[in-house]
């Protein structure tokens, strides 16, 4: 019995992988166990991910109950095309839907389950890839573990969809291997669709890297590049079948993001000097201990003032770093030539900002394409773990000596570039880790001749477990305690989801209107998150969102000058009035924005002050004056409707002095309904303009106009007017047709492959 179990363990790389990952995860979570703290990450985790997931899960529940699709969010900043804007975050991510099954456990526990699951999936998918490539069982388990807990895997675990993409990526390359070995095309079409659904941004990076991988592997398999183009064109066709399948999400996203400020380009000729030092040191040290606190300050040992160039996740393991240079003396000239050229190309891209900008989707230089570099490095050095007897010990000793020299000199150079006096205290942790790795490299050099794959596995378990635990502890120890989590999930000291309901009881008219609420982010929410409106289900006036509604960008530029990037917290009284802000919640009266407000409860929920806006303006109201956008004036925002030049005559001729409002409002899911007692005229709705809105007045569709920096304006008929508004993301229908076509082509591809297999069996 025991002998059978032992043999199964020896011959089962999946079981070995499971055990190795489990050991590392136990070490990983030791800080949480000791301090009885939940798993969490830093800024984006609280500011964005938890809230976006919370909102989407609420939307999914409503959609399932009412048999609709989760298109529109009312609780995200001013109203948001969630389907298109949050495809970057979670809409297409299969792990998000797995988390939905555990929603009742609470979002922190959901995130913990998903994080653990992704570490296992990362290892298992890499396991299957390495199995296909013919590596030995022990090597497969080691490589899978190194992939799961690489710098990228751990450092980007707080960017949840990045981690999802990383976990599934080996299956994508496995599908290419299936094409090479068995001429199977269906797996690649499916994986192209899965990866694009998961995250379009990383799929763009992956698509470029696919070209590099295909050429590299084709050369290694065939010994030359003869016939490569013919083989490549077939796979390109299959690639586009996968892309077509995703049309239902891809087309709405492309139409949305083409107006986004995310695509602003900052072209540089050279990085600041510290970036190159950081690049060098990242080959030898895990990124998560180089930037163990927020890197944006630029005050850490190797960090820059740009978060994109502060994140250089290339490291896998110390043993891998030591073995990688063996490629330069590899006896297999074909493998040596191809591998060196691929590594050199990745280094060149990394060194030249204009090239890394291309890899980043033309939106500032970034090193996130190293997700492919990690994959390549593990593939290359696994060859030497597979055949330890072929490792050149003399080169290994020289490698160790060189690494130690680099660690020392790069650290000294970084201290010099950043300023000795300022950095010594802040850099102490990184310097300690650098010293620890210098010792580790010495140990590897001394003991390597006596090492085997089992000892390598133990070494990697200890290394990755300790590094991950240190990184995890940096969050657990970051002034976070149980009180912090209580504040986060109960910062308004009110039951989740009932906040807006309680506000409604203040005024019976609240139940038939749409209004927004200002909550002071500093004194009430402790700056915990700019998106807690998702948690408490109210319509707020602040956000932190990299894919906010593009229409806001133009308006923000006009009222605030240069864009305030991704963080918005409206405090201007005129703008709060314009955006139909009815209530304001602060801790003290001196925390109020300037404006005309009346105190209606000085002990709201026991510790807050609730004010009502005396200048409250309804969501929908007619206007009495119109002008062109070129004459936009913030001081006249609530007096004049500013429109496009082409629309001035049409709207100007319909203006009258009769004032009317949108009343009896109901809004839910993807629709809003209301009633107007009208004498004609032009009505402004302070919802972000989108071609996705279809508005029916008395059952007849009406044309919408862009107004006041691209909000919604429309012409009213006279009399009693019923208003029915329905939202569908622009491009959804054409994207759905595209997806149907993609699935049809995939079906044809499946039938053709089955026919070929049948014919082979007959022959």
- Could you read off the pLDDT of 215-229 as tens digits, one per residue? 999 999 999 999 999
- Is the pLDDT assigned to residue 135 strictly greater than 90? yes
The pTM assigned to this predicted structure is 0.93
DSSP sequence for 63-101: HHHHT----EESSSTTSEEHHHHTTTTTTT-HHHHHHHT
- Could you read off the pLDDT of 90-131 as tens digits, one per residue? 999 999 999 999 998 888 889 999 999 999 999 999 999 999
Quick one: pLDDT band at residue 265, thresholds 50, 70, 90? low
Quick one: pLDDT band at residue 4, thresholds 50, 70, 90? low
Quick one: pLDDT band at residue 258, thresholds 50, 70, 90? confident
Quick one: pLDDT band at residue 380, thresholds 50, 70, 90? very high
The label of the residue with tokens 């939940």 reads 38
- Could you read off the pLDDT of 45-67 as tens digits, one per residue? 888 998 999 999 999 999 999 99
Compare 254 and 261 and report the one with higher pLDDT.
254
- Is the pLDDT assigned to residue 291 strictly greater than 80? no
Instruction: Give, as one character, the DSSP assignment of residue 316.
Output: -
Between 38-47, 91-100, 598-607, 667-676, the lowest mean confidence (pLDDT) is in 38-47
Structure tokens at 397: 């000793």
Structure tokens at 536: 């408490």
Beta strands 641-643 and 626-628, pairing class: parallel
Helix axes 453-476, 13-28, angle to 10 degrees: 30
- Is the pLDDT assigned to residue 294 strictly greater than 50? no
Compare 579 and 505 and report the one with higher pLDDT.
579
Quick one: pLDDT band at residue 446, thresholds 50, 70, 90? very high
Query: Which pLDDT belongs to residue 431?
Result: 80
Q: How far is CA 720 from CA 193, 493, 678, 697, 716, in A?
A: 49, 42, 6, 10, 10
Neighbouring residues of 307: CB distance < 8 A, sequence distance ≥ 6: 295, 296
Compare 294 and 535 and report the one with higher pLDDT.
535
Share of the chain above pLDDT 90, in %: 62
Query: How far, in Å, CA of 356 to CA of 269, rounded?
Result: 11
Q: What is the mean pLDDT of residues 192-206?
A: 96
Helix axes 107-132, 160-182, angle to 10 degrees: 20
Query: Which pLDDT belongs to residue 295?
Result: 43
Q: What is the mean pLDDT of residues 362-380?
A: 90
- Could you read off the pLDDT of 266-281 as tens digits, one per residue? 667 678 888 898 899 9
Burial class (CB in 10 A: 0-12, 13-18, 19+), 65: exposed
Question: What sign has the CA pseudo-torsion 315, 320, 326, 330?
Answer: negative
Instruction: Give, as one character, the DSSP assignment of residue 48.
Output: I
Question: What sign has the CA pseudo-torsion 735, 740, 745, 749?
Answer: positive
Q: What is the mean pLDDT of residues 745-758?
A: 90
Query: Which pLDDT belongs to residue 427?
Result: 61
Question: What sign has the CA pseudo-torsion 33, 37, 38, 40?
Answer: negative
- Could you read off the pLDDT of 482-539 as tens digits, one per residue? 566 665 655 555 555 567 777 878 888 888 889 999 999 887 776 778 898 998 889 9
Quick one: pLDDT band at residue 77, thresholds 50, 70, 90? very high
- Could you read off the pLDDT of 601-617 as tens digits, one per residue? 888 877 789 999 999 99
């Amino acid at each position: 019995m025991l002998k059978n179990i032992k043999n199964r363990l020896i011959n089962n790389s999946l079981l070995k992988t499971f055990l190795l990952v489990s050991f590392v995860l136990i070490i990983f979570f030791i800080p949480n166990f000791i301090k009885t703290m939940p798993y969490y990450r830093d800024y984006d985790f609280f500011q964005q991910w938890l809230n976006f997931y919370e909102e989407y899960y609420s939307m999914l529940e409503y959609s399932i109950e009412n048999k609709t699709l989760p298109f529109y969010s009312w609780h995200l900043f001013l109203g948001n095309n969630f389907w298109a804007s949050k495809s970057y975050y979670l809409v297409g991510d299969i792990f998000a839907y797995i988390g939905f099954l555990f929603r009742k456990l609470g979002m922190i526990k959901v995130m913990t389950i998903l994080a653990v699951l992704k570490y296992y999936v990362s290892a298992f998918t890499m396991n299957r890839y390495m199995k296909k490539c013919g590596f030995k069982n022990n090597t497969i388990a080691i490589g899978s573990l190194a992939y799961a807990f690489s710098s990228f895997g751990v450092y980007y675990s707080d960017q949840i969809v990045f981690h999802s993409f990383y976990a599934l990526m080996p299956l994508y390359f496995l599908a290419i291997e299936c094409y090479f070995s068995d001429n199977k095309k269906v797996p690649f079409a499916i994986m192209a669709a899965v990866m694009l659904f998961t995250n379009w941004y990383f799929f763009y990076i992956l698509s470029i890297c696919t070209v590099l991988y295909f050429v590299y592997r084709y050369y290694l398999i065939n010994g030359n590049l003869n016939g490569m183009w013919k083989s490549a064109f077939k796979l390109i066709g299959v690639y586009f079948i996968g892309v077509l399948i995703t049309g239902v999400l891809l087309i709405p996203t492309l139409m949305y993001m083409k107006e986004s400020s995310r695509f602003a380009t900052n072209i540089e000729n050279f990085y600041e000097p510290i970036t190159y030092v950081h690049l060098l040191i990242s080959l030898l040290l895990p990124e998560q201990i180089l930037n163990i606190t927020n890197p944006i300050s630029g005050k850490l040992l190797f960090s820059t003032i740009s978060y994109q160039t502060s994140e250089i996740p290339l490291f896998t393991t110390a043993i891998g770093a030591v073995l990688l240079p063996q490629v330069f003396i590899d006896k297999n000239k074909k493998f040596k030539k191809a591998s060196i050229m691929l590594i050199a190309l990745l280094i060149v891209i990394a060194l030249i900002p204009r090239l890394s900008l291309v890899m980043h989707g033309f939106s500032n230089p970034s090193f996130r394409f190293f997700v492919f570099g990690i994959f390549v490095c593990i593939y290359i050095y696994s060859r030497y773990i597979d055949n330890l007897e072929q490792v050149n010990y003399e080169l290994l000793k020289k490698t160790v000596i060189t690494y130690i020299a680099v660690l020392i000199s790069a650290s000294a150079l970084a201290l010099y570039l950043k300023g000795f006096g300022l950095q010594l205290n802040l850099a102490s942790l990184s310097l300690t880790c650098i010293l620890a790795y210098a010792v580790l490299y010495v140990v590897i050099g001394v003991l390597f001749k006596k090492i085997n794959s089992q000892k390598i596995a133990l070494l990697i378990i200890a290394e990755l477990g300790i590094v991950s635990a240190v990184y995890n502890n940096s969050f657990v120890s970051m002034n976070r305690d149980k009180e912090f989590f209580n504040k986060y999930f109960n910062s308004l000291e009110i039951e989740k989801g009932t906040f807006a309901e309680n506000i409604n009881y203040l005024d019976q008219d609240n139940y038939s209107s749409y209004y927004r609420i200002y909550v002071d982010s500093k004194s009430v929410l402790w700056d915990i998150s700019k998106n807690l409106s998702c948690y408490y289900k109210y319509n707020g006036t602040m956000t932190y969102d990299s894919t906010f509604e593009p229409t806001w960008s133009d308006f923000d530029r006009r009222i605030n000058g240069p864009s305030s990037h991704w963080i918005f917290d409206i405090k201007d009284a005129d703008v709060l009035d314009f955006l139909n802000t009815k209530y304001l919640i602060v801790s003290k009266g001196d925390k109020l924005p300037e404006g005309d407000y009346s105190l209606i409860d000085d002990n709201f929920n026991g510790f807050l002050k609730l004010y009502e806006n005396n200048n409250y303006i309804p969501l929908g109201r007619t206007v009495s004056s119109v002008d062109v956008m070129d004459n936009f004036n913030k001081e006249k925002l609530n007096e004049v409707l500013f429109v496009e030049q082409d629309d001035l005559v049409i709207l100007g001729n319909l203006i009258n002095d009769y004032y009317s409002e949108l009343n009896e409002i109901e809004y839910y899911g993807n629709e809003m309904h209301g009633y107007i007692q009208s004498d004609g005229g032009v009505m402004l709705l302070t919802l972000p303009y989108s071609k996705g809105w279809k508005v029916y007045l008395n059952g007849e569709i009406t044309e919408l106009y862009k107004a006041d920096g691209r909000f919604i304006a429309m012409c009213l008929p006279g009399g009693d007017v019923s208003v029915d508004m329905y939202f569908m993301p622009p491009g959804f229908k054409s994207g759905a047709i595209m997806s149907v076509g993609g699935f049809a082509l995939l079906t044809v591809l499946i039938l053709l492959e089955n026919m070929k297999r049948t014919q082979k069996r007959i022959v």
